[in-house]
Chain A
C-alpha cells in the first residue's frame, strides 16, 4: 500500500550550524548515493522521513481493515486464499517499514501511539468503505496500482533503508495488483450483475485512487525540498498523470468506463487530459473526516486495547523465563 506526504505545513527551513556538513550531504544526495542510518543528515530530512515512512507503515496496517472486511465473504476458496495472502503481505510490509523508520531513531511504540491517538496520518484511501466484493478486486487493481506507481521510483529514494524496503515491497505488491485486476476481469466476463458490480466499484474508487498521489503540485509545499533531497523522485501530478495513462486502457480492455466526462486523449502531450478530484473532499479526509475514518480508528484502538493483556502476558512470561535461566 502507500502513503503520500500529507503535511500541509511548509517544509521547515533548514537550520544548520554546519554548512560544510550540509553541503557534503547535499552533494552525496545529488550524486545518487544512499544515506545510511549512521550518516549525518539534516534534522528536517530525518523528520520528513520519519513522518513519511511511518505514514506509509500505518497505511499498510489500517489498509488490512477494508480488505479484511471481505475475507469471510470471499466468493470462492481461491479468492479467499488470495485475499488472505494479500493481507498477510500487508502486515509484513508494515513490519519492514516500521523497522526502516526505527533506523531514524524513533520506535514502533511511539509510532503506534501516534497512530492510535489520531496524530499520525495514513493513506486517505482506507477511509472509504468496501461495500461489495467488486471493491476488493478494484482495490487490488487501482489502489495497489497507484501504490506501485508511487513506490517504484522510491526504490531509488535517497535513504537506503527506505529504498531497500521498497524493493522488497514492490515485488510483492505488483503480484497482488495483477491478481486484483484479474478478479475484476472475472466480474466483467461474468453475469450482468457481476459486470454492474465492477462498474459501480470503479465509479466509487476512481477519484479516491487519484487522490492517493497527494495534492496538486502547486498545493504541495514539501515537494520541492523532498525532491531536492531525493526523498521523492517525481511530483504528485507527474505520477497521477502516469497512473491515468496506464489505467485507462486497462479499464477499456475489460469494457469498463472511467467516471470522468473530461477524460480524453491528448495527442500533443501523448497522454490523457482528465478532470480534477474533489480536493475539498481530499482535505476533509486528510483531516480525519473520511466516510469510515472513525470506524478504522475505533477498530485499531479496540484491537490494541483488547490485546493489552496478551502483550502483558508475553512480557511477564519472558521475564519469568529469563529469571529461571539466570538462576
Chain B
C-alpha cells in the first residue's frame, strides 16, 4: 500500500496515542504537591512531564498528517469530548494513590510493548517518537509495578485498596487490545503490531507483578470501551473544561 493511502490510519493512530499521553499527563499533574511523600511527588511530576512530551510529539505528527493546519496545541485545546480518542483507562479519576498506581501500571505495561514494536515501524516519524518514548515508559512501568507490589504486599489496608484500584481500572483494559479498521490497515502494512503479541506481553508483565504482590487478577469484566470512538465517560468533559479554559477564552492569543 502506498504511503499516501496509509496517511489517514497513521493520523488516527498518532492522535489516539497522543490523546492517551495527554490525558494521563493531565491527570497526574493534579497530584502536584499532594502526594504521600516528596519522592512520590517528584516521580509523578516526572512521569507527567514525560507524557506531556509524548503528547506534544504525537499530536504534532497527527496534525501534520491531517494537513489541515492544526498543530499539537490546536488539537489539545480546541477539540471537544467527542473528538478525543484516548482510551477510557487514562481518563479515570485519580482516586486514592492505589487507584492512580493501578491506572499507571496497567497503562504503562501496555504502552511499553506497543512502543517497542512501533520503534521498528517503517514509518520513520512514528519509529522515532516511539523510540524516545520507550526509554521513558520503561521507567514508568517499573515505578508503578514496584508500588503495586509494595501496596499489595504491605498492610491489610493497602492490600484492600490496591485490589480495589485494580478492579476499578480493569473494566477498561480490554479496549487496549481491540482491533479496528485503522489498526488492521497499519498491521497489514507492517506499521503497527498485531494486538495478540502486545496482549501476551501485557499479560506476562501483569501476571508477574500481581504474583509478586500476592494479588489475584480482578475477576470482573474488562469489556467497557468507547474511548477510541470518542465515546467517553462523564469525567473527560470536566478534565477538558479545566485544561482548555485559557485557549478557549482567548482564542487569538499565543502564550
Contact = CB atoms under 8 A, between A and B. Distances in A.
Contact of B161 (A91, A308, A309): A309
21 contacts: A71-B32, A72-B242, A72-B243, A73-B246, A75-B250, A76-B73, A76-B77, A76-B247, A76-B255, A80-B29, A81-B52, A81-B56, A84-B45, A133-B246, A299-B34, A302-B34, A307-B37, A310-B97, A313-B150, A316-B155, A317-B150
A221 interface: no
Contacts of B33: 61, 64-65, 68, 87, 299, 303
Interface in A284-327: 299, 302-304, 306-314, 316-317, 320
Interface stretch (A187-195, A258-266, A275-283): A187-195
Contact of B154 (A64, A95, A317): A317
Q: Chain A contact residues: over half helix, strand or loop, or mixed?
A: helix
A306 B33 CA distance: 12
Interface residues of B, number: 50
A75 B36 contact: no
Given A91-B42, A190-B253, A310 B34 contact: no
A77 B253 contact: no
A68 B153 contact: no
Interface string B39-74: 111100110110011011001000000000000110
A310 B56 CA distance: 32
Interface in B77-91: 77
Interface of B: 22, 25-26, 29-30, 32-42, 45-46, 48-49, 52-53, 55-56, 59, 72-73, 76-77, 96-97, 149-151, 153-155, 157-158, 161, 242-243, 245-247, 250, 252-255
B36 to A, nearest CB: 2
Contacts of A316: 154-155, 158
B143 to A, nearest CB: 13
Contacts of B151: 310, 313, 317
A46 interface: no
Contacts of A311: 36-37
Given A65-B33, A76-B73, A79-B255, A313 B41 contact: no
Nearest to A95: B38
B246 A75 contact: yes
Interface of A: 61, 64-65, 68, 71-81, 84-85, 87-88, 91-92, 94-95, 133, 183, 186-187, 190-191, 193-194, 299, 302-304, 306-314, 316-317, 320
Nearest to B55: A77
Contact of B29 (A71, A91, A186, A306): A71
Contacts of B22: 77
Contacts of A95: 38-39, 42
B78 to A, nearest CB: 12
A186 B34 CA distance: 30
Contact of A317 (B40, B49, B153, B255): B153
B32 A64 contact: yes
A77 B37 contact: no
Given A77-B59, A193-B253, A308-B36, 20 more contacts: A64-B33, A71-B29, A75-B77, A84-B45, A91-B41, A186-B255, A190-B254, A194-B253, A299-B33, A303-B33, A306-B36, A306-B96, A307-B35, A307-B37, A307-B40, A307-B97, A309-B155, A310-B36, A316-B154, A317-B149
Most B-side CB within 10 Å, residue of A64, A299, A302: A64
B213 to A, nearest CB: 9
Contacts of B38: 61, 91, 94-95
Contacts of A190: 253-255
B72 A87 contact: no
A72 B246 contact: no
Nearest to A319: B154
Contacts of B52: 77, 80-81, 84
Contacts of B53: 81
B55 A314 contact: no
B56 A313 contact: no
A307 B42 contact: no
A275 to B, nearest CB: 32
* Most chain B CB atoms below 10 A, which of A65, A309, A320: A309
Nearest to A67: B32
A71 B49 CA distance: 11
Contacts of B45: 84, 87-88, 91
Contacts of A299: 33-34
A85 B158 CA distance: 30
A73 B245 contact: yes
A313 B158 contact: yes
A59 to B, nearest CB: 13
A72 B255 contact: no
